[in-house]
Amino acid sequence: MEAKYDFERKYREQILQCSKCGFCQAVCPVYGATLRPSLNARGKMLVLKEVMDGKIELDDELIETLFQCTTCASCFENCPSGVNVPDIIKQVRTDMVHMGSCHPAFTGMHDVLEKHPNIYAEDEPEDFDREHNKKAEYVFFVGCVGLYREDESTEATLELLDRLEVDYTLLDEVCCSGVLEDVGYELNEDLVHKNVDRILATGAKTVITGCPYCARTFNNKPQYKELKQKGVEVLHVSQFLKDFDFGVTTDKVVTYHDPCDLGRHCGIYDEPRETIHKIAPNFVEMRHNRENALCCGAGGGVRGGYPKNSLAMARKRLQEVEEAGAEILLTECNSCVHNLSNAKLRKQRFKVYNTTQFINELMDDAE
């Protein structure tokens, strides 16, 4: 029988490879927040098998099941059968969008990016009182969350770059639009061209991103290949900062949350820790760390589409901060900072920072 959907054509063997062992259930943040077996990777693969067998249709009734996934890749990391669930889910979402079935929040995100330069439909960006689009050695690319939700953290990151005398420029940047592929759409070509043209116009040979997802998009999506072709390297700020010496330390107990986009998706675990070890001798790991880190719950469009569950996932992560006895939780992603800060209860007295913001604060205190 000829496959009806692209996901079947591309991933049939992988879906059938799922042995239903349930290792994914133990690590799935969506299952952890909802306790619904249909929402973990095994449940999703069972549903897709039923679709491939023609027993159920890929329609609106499956939106709840198939669009509620942070694409954190914990399941893939722990799958003994090697089923690449995030890639399968993205393809299924694409198939559903082609058929007109999509979560309204994600349709909304797509429509917003047709009209506005960022996912929040904001038309007045924070300019951080710094020059934009000038000739410089580096471009600092902030990302939507850093521009419109965690601007204080971004301001601190820029202050740190100023202190380190980095020759950078900001851009009149627009959304990298990578998130659209997570939720069933394609990258927005107009936004891609604007970013590429504006980056190249600065003459910079390195782009430093504040957002791990933007770095992934620039480095991995073919739509941005011109950057590589023109010799422009893209680094996340944690990679850029690892060789600097900051000259400050803290006595506080510090822990680190691996963002999924930096860790499992890019394999960047050591650089953030190298920097933290320089400034925080009292560093402790959380129970789940590196490849096994729990997801904060913000990715894959889940923060926008299922905010209550997203915050519940973040609260599970924050329990591990308490267990570790940390006073400071550092991470390297504005989406993680945003979701974890929003989820933190008032009785939880630790503080949440991007590492850059924390270092900048230490330098402020030292002056």
Q: Least distance from C-beta 301 to other proteins, angstroms? A: 11
Residue with Cβ nearer other proteins (148 or 283): 148
Q: Least distance from C-beta 330 to other proteins, angstroms? A: 21
**Bridging pattern class, strands 138-141 and 168-169:** parallel
Q: Least distance from C-beta 119 to other proteins, angstroms? A: 7
Residue with Cβ nearer other proteins (268 or 314): 314
Alpha-carbon gap, residue 35 to 176, rounded angstroms: 34
φ, ψ dihedrals at 295, nearest 5°: -75, 145
Residue with Cβ nearer other proteins (121 or 227): 121
Residue with Cβ nearer other proteins (55 or 308): 308
| Binding site residues, other proteins, CB under 8 A | 105, 108-109, 112, 119-121, 148-149, 304, 307-308, 311, 342, 345-346
100 burial (CB, 10 Å; 0-12 / 13-18 / 19+) is: exposed
Residue with Cβ nearer other proteins (22 or 307): 307
CA angle 126/127/129 to nearest 5° reads 130
Q: Least distance from C-beta 303 to other proteins, angstroms? A: 9
Say if CB 48 and CB 42 are below 8 A apart. no
Residue with Cβ nearer other proteins (239 or 310): 310
Alpha-carbon gap, residue 249 to 141, rounded angstroms: 27
| Residue 319 CA: distances (Å) to CA of 28, 213, 289 | 16, 25, 13
Q: Least distance from C-beta 109 to other proteins, angstroms? A: 8
Say if CB 300 and CB 71 are below 8 A apart. yes
Residue with Cβ nearer other proteins (105 or 227): 105
Q: Least distance from C-beta 105 to other proteins, angstroms? A: 7
Residue with Cβ nearer other proteins (92 or 180): 180
Q: Least distance from C-beta 149 to other proteins, angstroms? A: 6
Q: Least distance from C-beta 144 to other proteins, angstroms? A: 10
How does DSSP assign 39-87, residue by residue?
GSHHHHHHHHHHHHTTSS-SSGGGHHHHS------HHHHH-TT---HHH
- Orientation of helix 85-98 relative to helix 41-52, angle to 10°: 50
